[in-house]
Amino acid sequence: MSKERGGIFRHLVALSLVACSFSATAKDETRVRARDLGVAPGIFAPGTHNAITDVPGVRVGQVTLKEGDTVRTGVTAILPHAGNVYRSRVPAAVHVGNGFGKFVGSTQVNELGELETPILLTCTLCVWKAADAMADWMLAKPDMQQVRSLNVVVGETNDGGLNDIRARPVTADAVRRALDTSTGGAVQEGSVGAGTGTVAFGWKGGIGTSSRTLPASLGGWTVGVLVQSNFGGVLQVSGAPVGRELDRYAFQKAVAMQAGAQRGSADDRGDGSIIIVIATDAPLSDRNLRRVASRAMMGLGRTGSSASNGSGDYILAFSTADSVRRAFDAPRLETSELANEQMSAVFQASVEAVEEAIYNSIFMATTVSGNGETVEAIPLDRVRRILKQHGIAPPTE
């Protein structure tokens, strides 16, 4: 997804970051989630783990690939439930915020309104290898021996700065391990899995997750989000201008030159990509899931993205509710789904969880060196000071 222009920027930013006076601090800091910094977007409470796995049945598996000095990538797998997704399909929909990317299987998801495989995230030039490996993994199941068509779903972002992406290092074994080791509970975030080599707002990006649980009066549903962040823009955190205060943001050099100053890093245009996966146990049709997916762009925008020309912004939403499951050979669908008038709280929860998942992907990411480059983790000590200046403080003990 992140294209040549974004790759050039990341190369220049990575070189400049090595020389930053606060680089040692960023490397040595303990990484924390957004809520540890007092950043808790919205009004609804998170689930037990504040993760996509708070949605009952959803599991996540990740494999991180670090080989020598060049390979910095991986695979993240999201499984909607513990059964065979081909036999027991979940309604799903994909929204494209900006389509500069590859999302294998997305057209059939939107045509039929359902998932029939887990979801994989990886690097741009590995999507087809990952898709092929998951197809083998699915077709090898005992109850799949007569299957002759399969719509695997694989999303990607371009980690070609820190990772030797042309080597296409993701293997079938890595894909199988991500799928086979998927679990519920806490989800590892930051520079792991498909987020191992990604960059966000000029800092190290990665995998982030969050969730929201609605009050019983609003249905009591859970909405969970997982993101693979690899995009740019002007970072803001709960409205605080963190990107400007840290002196690293899109179009920085052009703005400085307009003001008569010769400063700033590469003329970043905010290019990059993000994959957002939204899960919920609310019984939603694929039509309303498409509406949920579209709201994710609001959460993305709150963090400072403007969905640049070179950004691939894809959102996939699915429902795990038993009442909307679809047997692959069912002659008729008889579902009990949430009405339109009950959707607003789900929309709100989705926007909040997307925003927080993106912050978590950045705050939890560690400094990574690879492929001749180094991308620093965002310096949380400086972020704390900026947030405090804008009235945002961590919770007291």
- The residue annotated as part of the active site, out of 2, 182, 313, 361, is 313
SS3 assignment, position 155: strand
Alpha-helix residue ranges (DSSP H) falling in the chain: 4-18, 23-28, 106-112, 127-139, 172-180, 242-245, 252-258, 286-302, 344-363, 380-389
* CA gap 60, 267 in Å, rounded: 36
* CA gap 179, 141 in Å, rounded: 13
**Can you say whether the dihedral through the CA atoms of 121, 126, 127, 133 is positive or negative?**
negative
* CA gap 51, 47 in Å, rounded: 7
Burial class (CB in 10 A: 0-12, 13-18, 19+), 114: buried
- The residue annotated as part of the active site, out of 273, 285, 319, 361, is 273
Cα angle: 307, vertex 313, 317; to 5 degrees: 135
* CA gap 228, 118 in Å, rounded: 16
Any idea of the CA torsion for 359, 38, 350, 324, to the nearest 10 degrees?
110
164 in active site: no
CB distance 106 to 131 below 8 Å:
no
311 in active site: yes
- The residue annotated as part of the active site, out of 229, 311, 350, 361, is 311
265 in active site: no
CB distance 173 to 292 below 8 Å:
no
Bridge partners (DSSP) of residue 311 are 272
Bridge partners (DSSP) of residue 306 are none
The region, left, alpha or beta by phi > 0 then psi within -120 to 50, assigned to residue 31 is beta
* CA gap 355, 40 in Å, rounded: 9
- Annotated active-site positions, please? 273, 311, 313
